[in-house]
Structure 1
Amino acid sequence: MKILLTGATGYIGSAVTEHLAAAGHQVVALTRGAEPRPGRAWHAQVVGDTTDPASLAGAVGPDIEGVIHLAPPSGDADVDTAVVEALAAPLRGTGRPFVYTSGVWVLGATGGAREVGEDAPTDPIGIVGYRPLIERRVLAEAAEGVRAVVVRPAVVYGRGGGIPAILVDRARGQGVPEYYGEEGVRWPTVHVDDLAGLFVAAVERAGAGTVWHGVGEPAVPVRELARAAGRAAGVLAAPHAVPVEQAAEVFGPLFAEALALDQSVSGAAARTVLGWQPERPGAVAELTAGSYRPVEVFGAPEGAGTDAEVAAIRRLVAEVEHAQQNELVDGFLAVFRREDPVWTTGHGKRLSGFEEIAAFTRKVLPGATAGSTAVYDVERVLFLRPDVAAVNVRQQPVGPDGGRLADRPEGRPFYVLVKEDGVWRVGAAQNTVVVG
């Protein structure tokens, strides 16, 4: 299909563009100016501004086979209603799709309900106060022969952006991770690339007059997101609760209310009916060992293939951390290749072969984290070959609350990883204690 996309230059729009193009669609981007945008996977550009409905006349020409409206709302209900009219009217009687982007904040606080679905009544918070009105206006187009669809994304993360990036910046600037409102606040979340996949599914096959929740994880404790954001910022400290009134001084009262909103929202319907399959790491994992903490990469060309390999290497190191922190002997041994691995421990003990490493691990790992454990962060990856990588890791000792133990030295593990049967494993490891 040839699809007009508003908000094509934005955080979500960039991902949706890529996924539409990968699915064989032609993206016609609505942009405020006609200047070319190199590097975009756009078929064409059309000039228009979603804060000026009159500028959209002619944007949806007869060759446009669908519209995805991703541009943010203007803040004026009348303007946004007029934008929907301008974009949807040319589609009437054609059965072509019009997909509108709303958000789960229209549901308000979900209280004790577990994973509310699309049939839940709306109770919008202030920042999205008139959004349900626009949703109803869009869905009414189904009676006019438009395949009108509403997608409500959760809190979007991934690619180093979205609201979680604010948590990272605040942790870095304040020197402590912070979250807002009550300790039990939860956010439904979705990775931006998984969400882009839902938009593709919606424009291709969602029925007229339907609403879909773009939710990968229904209820992530924001305190854990804050802790992970601190990790991404290099701040190892217990998360700090910020009252909504204090947050309002930084973010304004409307956004502060949104940050403190407790929700549990289901995305199951899109999985069941549309076949949507969110598959990216969860929000905490992405903050801890993903796009919010860049890694220096050498010896490999830039691109999606290298990014995927680096992500897989980071997941392997995260497995090391998880096994160490939870004293999982089998989990720790699973990161090593079976054929002749070698490991020099932080105390200088040299181990050769899988059986020797296994015997040592079974002896020392149980009980090792009684007073402290450690976090592991990948800092540099050198690809010696496509299937061999040298990896520098920073190992920091932490206490039970996740705070940095200042009286314990850091470690600098060095791993030589080998990719076998599509899986990265440790072939050689050296752990060096940093002496201050």
Structure 2
Amino acid sequence: MRVFVTGASGWIGSATVPHLLAAGHEVVGLARSDASADRLAVLGAAAHRGSLDDLESLRAGARQADAVIHLAFKHDFSDYAGAGRTERAVVQAFVDELAGTGRSLLLASGLAGAPGRVLTERDASAFSGPDAPRGGSEGLALDAAARGVAPVALRFAATVHGVGDHGFVAQLVRIARERGVSGYVGDGTSRWPAVHVGDAGRVVALALDKAPGGTVVHAVGEEGVRHREMAEAIGRVVGVPVASVDPADAAEHFGWLGGFWGMDAVASSELTRELLGWEPAGPTLLEDLAAGAYDHVARG
């Protein structure tokens, strides 16, 4: 198949493209710059110039493809509501373009669980409507099954870790270095699910080939890693003490990350493993930290 991939040169996308190519697909990645196009060429993918703000370029990419994998997102936490509006507009453009074709639309989504409960693939997204986080795009896509689209929601663990990561864990390492202490919120018993980036890329490629329309896929290698254990591992990497941060001070201590760090979210991938025949093979989050995957951030 000819597959149009947004975010193909990004963190998860660059781990996904090799698996798509190995499965025999032709990959065309969205590229907003020459640097992105060059990265795609190195990966073995073609470039389609455009951006998330250029909806016509996205529609054109989808029109010329047999399937769309939407992995890009504006990670601007200073205007998270604006990022959500952009996300909804992008998904709506894809839905409108693919309507009536029966083609697949796979899109990245997030995991938000309830404390003390394990989120499964059968649970509906907690984010619904245009004003919800990520613009409620998962529900928008899944509802498109009624319009002749084959949607698949790719819910990624909060921590997609590995060498080169600049996401949440990297930010926690940076904050620990700058603050001189590796902090966790409250008693540190909150948990985040995690998955190695290589495993995440593999599950996306498997979902394209095996997941029927309307499926929810959980890219989760570990159901929940306790925040105190993460903070302790980060403390060892950075060489700083570990301490609890009062929930009332989380926003001041962790900045924009304070709104997420401390939230409890546990998720299972049992149904995904059964459906796709997928088993995580990469290192765990704590193993990655111990092996030096985040040393580049620890050193500044």
TM-score range, shorter chain: 0.7 to 0.9
Deviations 1:196-245 (A, max 9, x none): 11111111111111111211100111111111112222x163x2122334
Code of the aligned partner of 1:197: R
Separation in 1, partners of 2:240, 2:255: 27
Separation in 1, partners of 2:148, 2:126: 29
State the shift of 1:78 in Å: 4.6
Code of the aligned partner of 1:279: A
Separation in 1, partners of 2:135, 2:91: 13
> Aligned with 1:24: secondary structure?
coil
1:138 to 119, 131, 141: 141
Deviations 1:174-205 (A, max 9, x none): 33322234421111111111111111111111
Runs of 4+ in 1 over 6 A off after TM superposition: none
Which moved further from structure 2: 242-251 or 13-22?
A: 242-251
Separation in 2, partners of 1:197, 1:143: 28
Does residue 168 in structure 1 map to residue 160 in structure 2? no
Separation in 2, partners of 1:34, 1:285: 35
State the shift of 1:124 in Å: 4.8
Deviations 1:230-271 (A, max 9, x none): 2222x163x212233433125545x31211111221111110
State the shift of 1:30 in Å: 0.7
Separation in 2, partners of 1:209, 1:224: 36
User: What is aligned with 1:282?
Assistant: 284
Whether contact under 8 Å (1:48, 1:59) holds in the other structure is: no
Matches within 5 A, 1:397-436: none
Matches within 5 A, 1:344-363: none
Amino-acid identity (%): 37
Greater fraction helix: 2
* Residues matched between the structures, number: 284
State the shift of 1:168 in Å: 2.0
TM-score, normalised by the number of residues in structure 2: 0.85
User: What is aligned with 1:75?
Assistant: 81
User: What is aligned with 2:77?
Assistant: none
Counterparts in 2 of 1:22 and 1:75: CA distance versus 1, 3 Å:
farther
User: What is aligned with 1:186?
Assistant: 191
1:100 to 93, 104, 107: 107
> Aligned with 1:102: secondary structure?
strand
Code of the aligned partner of 1:286: D
State the shift of 1:132 in Å: 7.0
Q: Of the two structures, which has the highest relative contact order with CA contacts closer than 8 Å and spacing of 6 or more?
A: 2
User: What is aligned with 2:293?
Assistant: 291
User: What is aligned with 1:269?
Assistant: 271
State the shift of 1:173 in Å: 2.6
Gaps of 5+ in 2: 75-79
User: What is aligned with 1:258?
Assistant: 260
Code of the aligned partner of 1:152: R
Which moved further from structure 2: 84-93 or 186-195?
A: 84-93
Whether contact under 8 Å (1:188, 1:263) holds in the other structure is: yes
Separation in 2, partners of 1:250, 1:11: 26
Separation in 2, partners of 1:164, 1:15: 18
Matches within 5 A, 1:358-397: none
CA RMSD of aligned residues (A): 2.4
> Aligned with 1:75: secondary structure?
helix
Code of the aligned partner of 2:38: R
Deviations 1:268-292 (A, max 9, x none): 1110111111111111111012422
User: What is aligned with 2:42?
Assistant: 40
Deviations 1:346-381 (A, max 9, x none): xxxxxxxxxxxxxxxxxxxxxxxxxxxxxxxxxxxx
1:203 to 204, 208, 214: 208
Whether contact under 8 Å (1:218, 1:265) holds in the other structure is: yes
Does residue 28 in structure 1 map to residue 28 in structure 2? yes
1:230 to 230, 235, 241: 235
Does residue 249 in structure 1 map to residue 252 in structure 2? yes
TM-score, normalised by the number of residues in structure 1: 0.60
2:163 to 151, 154, 159: 159
Deviations 1:8-30 (A, max 9, x none): 22222221223322333222111
Q: Which has the larger radius of gyration?
A: 1
Gaps of 5+ in 1: 295-436
Counterparts in 2 of 1:25 and 1:181: CA distance versus 1, 3 Å:
farther
> Aligned with 2:61: secondary structure?
coil
> Aligned with 2:72: secondary structure?
coil
User: What is aligned with 2:220?
Assistant: 215
Separation in 2, partners of 1:259, 1:8: 27
Matches within 5 A, 1:13-24: 13-24=13-24
Separation in 1, partners of 2:43, 2:6: 14
> Aligned with 2:43: secondary structure?
coil
State the shift of 1:102 in Å: 0.8
